[in-house]
Structure 1
């Protein structure tokens, strides 16, 4: 007597991907850019730098005195083409909104807050944490802060390269280019801030771990 045929067990259905609602995206854009703006203000008040287009805008601010918010908005303009082609219209529009909000917040927040004393070490660590957390919020809602963030997210989505690690390498190169406008101590603290920022991303932003879009 032949053994009974094995009964095929259907594979479990893949869990549905939870999609963010528009009001959730708006809340994330506001919160994420606010966190990053606070981190940038800490960096700027302590005379520190960071990577990405934020770092480029800070370099322009230190070298020429141009307003950070304006410089940051202008530096990001060329990257919208890559974002539109590679990441889609929704991502590009969210990124444009995030860049605009960050530029506005970085300009307006200093009008309502001031520091009597700010330790550069605290500014590096706390600024890195705030920027990293804010960027993490934006990444999870399919937005970014433009510039290198677009390239980093594209590399992660298409090649599986960890966003935090790639961003850390690029940011370190930008910070090392700051010797023209800062002393060794400020640059060392800037590297510390960049490491804290990107470790926050590397630990919390991994491919496939967060499914909401």
Structure 2
């Protein structure tokens, strides 16, 4: 009974490691919350930073499925992730991205939002994405490969990772002007700021030491 409880994460006495079932619930919860945030942004035509932002731009421009675009855009980064971070992180990230992409596509079958103010969607969407990413980070997963690429470029060429991510987000927002109105871009920036402030305040490795 004690062994079963340990595997399932019940009464886990080792705070530095997650059990398999803890990882499963973390990936599931993080993906569900992130998908809800993305769905809320999409409902009013907003976007965000990172690969999700680029997927939004392509979605609004081409009409293709956001979930499919988000999944496909992340595929090239998994090889880099395997080399830089390892199998465990890569597999968890692949699962999280795939699950989030799928959930965004089916969200409307279970939740119908009639109307929401864009600024409120931006704030709530940013917070939901922040909560979702925080859950994934704490179980050694993420929602995309841009961060891995940024770290790789920093190690390989000495370019600061933060600057790489900032430059990419600026390019995404610039491209957004071609497919959405300036006010939508402004609201999207608000949502991205909320997301990044939330993660900056709440995600610190020295406060959370889980290894697995």
Scaled to the shorter chain, the TM-score interval is: 0.7 to 0.9
Is the 1:168–1:195 contact (alpha carbons within 8 Å) kept by the matching residues of 2?
A: no
CA pair 209-170 structure 1, distance change in 2 beyond 3 A = farther
CA pair 79-57 structure 1, distance change in 2 beyond 3 A = same
> CA–CA distance in 2 between the matches of 1:64 and 1:21?
42
> CA–CA distance in 2 between the matches of 1:135 and 1:120?
22
Larger CA Rg, structure 1 vs 2: 1
1:56 corresponds, among 54, 57, 77, to 54
> CA–CA distance in 1 between the matches of 2:88 and 2:100?
18
Deviation (angstroms), 1:127:
0.1
1:182 corresponds, among 180, 186, 197, to 180
> CA–CA distance in 2 between the matches of 1:110 and 1:104?
12
Aligned to 1:79: 77
Report how many aligned residue pairs link the two structures.
195
1:44 corresponds, among 26, 42, 45, to 42
Is the 1:168–1:198 contact (alpha carbons within 8 Å) kept by the matching residues of 2?
A: no
CA pair 134-155 structure 1, distance change in 2 beyond 3 A = farther
Deviations 1:84-117 (A, max 9, x none): 0000000000000001100110111111211111
CA pair 119-84 structure 1, distance change in 2 beyond 3 A = same
For normalisation by structure 1, the TM-score amounts to 0.83
Deviations 1:124-182 (A, max 9, x none): 000000001101111111101122133457799xx9x897x975664344223311111
CA pair 182-103 structure 1, distance change in 2 beyond 3 A = same
2:136 corresponds, among 131, 135, 138, to 138
Task: Give runs of aligned pairs for residues 131-210 of structure 1, distance below 5 A.
Answer: 131-151=129-149, 167=165, 170-210=168-208
Q: Report the aligned-residue RMSD.
A: 2.5
2:114 corresponds, among 113, 116, 132, to 116
CA pair 37-168 structure 1, distance change in 2 beyond 3 A = farther
